[in-house]
Structure 1
Amino acid sequence: MRPLRGLSLFSAALLSACARSSTPPTVSPPTPGTVTLAAPAGDGWYRGAVFYEVFVRSFQDSNGDGVGDLPGLISRLDYLNDGNPATTDDLGVDALWLMPVFASPSYHGYDVVDYERIQPAYGTLEDMQKLCDEAHRRGMRVIVDFVINHSSSAHPWFVESAASPQSAKRDWYQWRANNPAWKQPWDPAFSQTDTWHERNGAWYYGVFWSGMPDLNMQTVAVREEVKRLATLWLSRGVDGFRLDAARYLIETGGGVGQSDTAETHAFWKEFAAHVRSVKPDAVLVGENWSETPSVAKYYGSTALVPGGDELPINFNFPLSERVLAGINAGNAGGVASKFLEMRNNYPAGVVDAPFLTNHDMVRVATQFSGDTSKLGLAAAVVLTLPGAPFLYYGEEVGLGNGGANNDESKRTPMPWTAATGGGFTTGTPWYGFSSGRETANVETQKAAPGSLLSRYKALLHARQGSEALRTGDMRLFTPTTGPSATLAFVRTVDDEQVLVVHNFSNAQVTAGPFDVEGTAVEPLFTDTGVSTLTGGSGAWKTTVPARGTGIWRVQ
């Protein structure tokens, strides 16, 4: 859940900054081994897995009502992963993240009215069980959005809580006799919006808006109910949870007391321990939209739990910003410096979650104005980084934003074909398609070897075929200060080494020498125009075209 104000301004600021940075940087000589990010610890299935974010409402409609649903998603599972490692027709993702699927009065579902039922427009509990079973049969895992920072104001818990100061559930939410007048905490320069709202002569806290009152996690009964619900869904077959608005869980006062509190971290440790006790291999993914030092703290301690005793995966919003800005500017230096900051803040061996954009952000195809070379480079970068990359549905075909400046335009229906209805529905879609569907669709790109979709498939299958790309550590060759045309690193696990070179600039570059020991070279993925590695052990060089990528196994 994004802050309702400010993030659209963030996106605009990012686009403006990128537009100003048009001069290609000079090529800086690499400094071998300046940064090393350790391989993830533990044996969780999610180490190196590629996740695919699905907005069920927009993915596939099965009954012609214009609304995507679970049976529709099931019918498209073979597109995502057909369960056969020998085939290359499928995308090849390892796991699905479903945006909210619980009963809700809204199109987006982030205001839940029943945590035990499926949104009726999406299907039934039986459909959800079938989805989990069919995904598991293909080797995919399923995680769901678990929105426990707040509920809907229509949830029976809140209705009862608001009914009377003597209600048994009064303390399930925060109530005050007077308005404390706290403002939204994400950025005072953007937000002067009140977070306390009047109901029946008293004031309740809801950081996002009045229709989403915050649950009071300081109440033991609320914490126990949340843990009971987590147990329920784990027993129903889900493999973990994406945790919405994880920074804003427990407030201790206005301003700095509204996010990242010690009480919030303590609860996530408590919740994570419970989830591990119920299903040891379940995963928790934190949405902590903040700066790197703050994000790093949500992993918790690695002393007793490999990978951290709090949230084992956290979205890397700062890295996303650097990657997109760097590609737009033709400069990889900012990405390299972010890796240095991560090394200096992240606990060793944790699982990062790199991504390009998500449902709260201007889509990457729109940020890049449809530039296919930039989109192709972005795909190569995110799918070669350490951690568990997340892809947003439609990114693989270059799906852009719709025509309006609203969240719905970031979540438009999936374009399967160029035909009327887009292969998404036989009826009228719940929201209009984004423009460009004539070429930005699965059917057209599936038949084109040089398409963006074909590139995603090739990169995903290269990653699947290399344990070093999936779970290896990373030794960075790109300098962490100053501009650089290339982002270069080696991924290593056991005796496998994979050298990766990305050219962020709009001109051909000669990159190297790279200090990687070995005499035999096996290309895993190389763009047209990428030269063979030369120079030999410890001094490899290559020529890479504008916004091109080369990936080699060095033995």
Structure 2
Amino acid sequence: MAQSVRRRRRGSRLLPGTALAALVLGLLPAATAHANTEAVARDTAAGNDVIANLWSWNWKSVAAECTDVLGPAGYGAVWVAPPAESLSHPRHHWWDVYQPYSYGLSGRFGTEADFTAMTAACNGAGVAVYTDAVVNHTAAQTGTGYAGTALGDKYAPPMYSRADYNVDVCNREISNWDDKWEVQNCELLGLPDLKTGSDSVRDKIAGYLNSQIARGVSGFRVDAAKHIPAADLEAIAGRLDDTADGSRPFVFHEVFPGSTPAPDEYYGSGRVLDFAFGDRVKAAFQSDIAQLENLGPGQGLLPAGNSVSFVTNHDTERNGRHLTYKDGDTAVLANVFQLGWTEAPPTVYAGFAFAGNDDSPPADADGFVTGTDCAAGWSCLDRDPRITGMVGWRNAAGDAEVTDWQSPRGNVVGFGRGDRGFAALNNTGEPVTQEFGTAVPDGVYCNVLDDCAGKVTVAGGRVTLDLPARGAVAFHP
């Protein structure tokens, strides 16, 4: 296997996790996923549906963030890394956690006890937990796992036998990315492709996911979902237990853009991550955000009721597709826009700083990820006051539709959610003072993006806002 299997992609996100993400009813009212072949999507409503993607954080750090930041800020859920034991790569590259060695829940981010304590802490803070589910494949590289499992044959991990793989169907890597059969039956970069059409394999995958539900997990993001036939994922989802509150797990899939398969094939078992949202947002914030006025399915986005939006993730920040923490205030502003605009559940990505694409998260000598230090080595966008303020703004806006779009000058826009809130963004390098019309009732309000230090006055349906360079103002009753 090449030093970095992630560099060789053609129409697919390679190693990281696609997870079935379960949505706790009432926390994320956008939709619930049904464990059968019914369409799971319905019209979504904003409000308490924001997902913090704390990528590669260890379990103790996630627990603390849920208690100290996410719960108080009003996040609906936290999406975390794959919890299964994985390959312990000699250089501890970040992607080794996407090569499962066993379905045990002790691994690179902590022990099973740490994991269970994390879910309890997050649930106690009102934050649902979604994990990355790596279920298309197991590890391509042999060696030793983070919990000590030894693997000498990639087709013989402890939970499967050679008969559980598609090696008898296609014993080679994918070569034609336009052939759906190859994409779903051949090996992705040498990763052993599970025979997900087999009932016994489906039972084992569901058993692994149900072991997490039993420990307080509410859902999953399915890694490499496009490499699994849609009917197989529906069958697996049908085997999932209800969550602790009696609701069905919410599932969202990673279907990396390509000619085949189409994202809508996966609506029967969950939502789909909308790569086009990040594409359009990056293009606008690197040119003129006025072009975002009609952002929606007409510009290639997935329907809000079938999707989960994101500005960036751990793959696209590395391959240059989307904005990243290295874009500074531009990336923060793009996330402010996402939280105010999208009707799909939005994700806020908080990962670690990197120089090389394969860099490990901050870890000890054995590769175990150390505690998150937002002042050193980590990018903690989830706790930025501009983001936490906008999470609260979104929750206050509830299911009100976007209204009052205005673009009075280049790279300056304003919009509202009816009378429930108004936001204005300045994507220029200079401060701007601008008047806008708003449906928010007359009165004096605070700017929720600066901890309410700034005050704004609405009079006669008009408001004049002092917008910082690459900054925003948002207020609500």
Q: TM-score, normalised by structure 1?
A: 0.62
C-alpha distance in 2, partners of 1:127/1:51?
21
Q: Is 1:324 the counterpart of 2:282 in the alignment?
A: yes
Structure whose alpha-carbon radius of gyration is higher: 1
Aligned length: 423
Q: State the SS of the aligned residue for 1:297.
A: helix
CA spacing shift, 1:371–1:429, aligned 2, 3 Å: farther
What corresponds to 1:190 in structure 2? none
C-alpha distance in 2, partners of 1:431/1:172?
30
Q: State the SS of the aligned residue for 1:109.
A: helix
What corresponds to 1:54 in structure 2? 54
What corresponds to 1:490 in structure 2? 416
Q: CA deviation at 1:100?
A: 1.7
Q: State the SS of the aligned residue for 1:103.
A: coil
2:358 corresponds to which of 407, 413, 421: 407
Q: CA deviation at 1:340?
A: 4.9
CA spacing shift, 1:374–1:271, aligned 2, 3 Å: same
Paired residues of 2:82 and 2:133 also in contact (CA < 8 A) = yes
CA spacing shift, 1:333–1:248, aligned 2, 3 Å: farther
Paired residues of 2:442 and 2:460 also in contact (CA < 8 A) = yes
Q: Is 1:267 the counterpart of 2:232 in the alignment?
A: yes
CA spacing shift, 1:72–1:472, aligned 2, 3 Å: same
Q: Structure 2, unaligned stretches of length 5 or more?
A: 14-28, 33-41, 143-150
Counterpart of 1:286, as a letter, is H
Residue correspondence of structure 1 range 16-415 to structure 2 within 5 A: 40=30, 48-56=48-56, 59=57, 69-71=58-60, 73-74=62-63, 77-81=66-70, 85=72, 93-106=75-88, 107=92, 108-119=96-107, 121-153=108-140, 159=155, 170=163, 172-176=165-169, 182-183=174-175, 185=177, 205-207=186-188, 209-210=189-190, 212-250=191-229, 264=230, 266-275=231-240, 280-290=247-257, 297=264, 300=267, 309-312=268-271, 314-329=272-287, 331-341=288-298, 346-347=302-303, 349-350=305-306, 352-362=308-318, 370=326, 372-386=328-342, 387-394=344-351, 400-402=353-355, 404=356, 406-408=357-359, 412-413=361-362
Q: CA deviation at 1:326?
A: 2.5
Q: CA deviation at 1:498?
A: 1.0
Residue deviations 1:227-273, cap 9 Å, x none? 232222211221111110111213xxxxxxxxxxxxx2x33333344
Q: TM-score, normalised by structure 2?
A: 0.70
Q: CA deviation at 1:143?
A: 1.5
CA spacing shift, 1:442–1:429, aligned 2, 3 Å: farther
CA spacing shift, 1:72–1:533, aligned 2, 3 Å: closer
Paired residues of 2:296 and 2:302 also in contact (CA < 8 A) = no
CA spacing shift, 1:133–1:171, aligned 2, 3 Å: closer
Counterpart of 1:297, as a letter, is D
Counterpart of 1:522, as a letter, is Y
CA spacing shift, 1:475–1:115, aligned 2, 3 Å: farther
Q: CA deviation at 1:551?
A: 1.1
C-alpha distance in 1, partners of 2:66/2:395?
24
What corresponds to 1:442 in structure 2? 374
CA spacing shift, 1:133–1:469, aligned 2, 3 Å: same
CA spacing shift, 1:328–1:346, aligned 2, 3 Å: closer
CA spacing shift, 1:500–1:46, aligned 2, 3 Å: closer
CA spacing shift, 1:135–1:535, aligned 2, 3 Å: closer
Residue deviations 1:469-523, cap 9 Å, x none? 45543337258xxx9523432225xxx5211111222345565654636333523
CA spacing shift, 1:47–1:133, aligned 2, 3 Å: same
Counterpart of 1:536, as a letter, is G
Paired residues of 2:54 and 2:80 also in contact (CA < 8 A) = yes
Residue correspondence of structure 1 range 6-25 to structure 2 within 5 A: 6=9
Q: CA deviation at 1:137?
A: 2.0
Paired residues of 2:402 and 2:417 also in contact (CA < 8 A) = yes
Q: CA deviation at 1:371?
A: 5.7
C-alpha distance in 2, partners of 1:9/1:222?
23
Q: CA deviation at 1:334?
A: 4.3
CA spacing shift, 1:464–1:367, aligned 2, 3 Å: closer
What root-mean-square deviation, in Å, do the aligned CA atoms of Structure 1 and Structure 2 show? 4.8
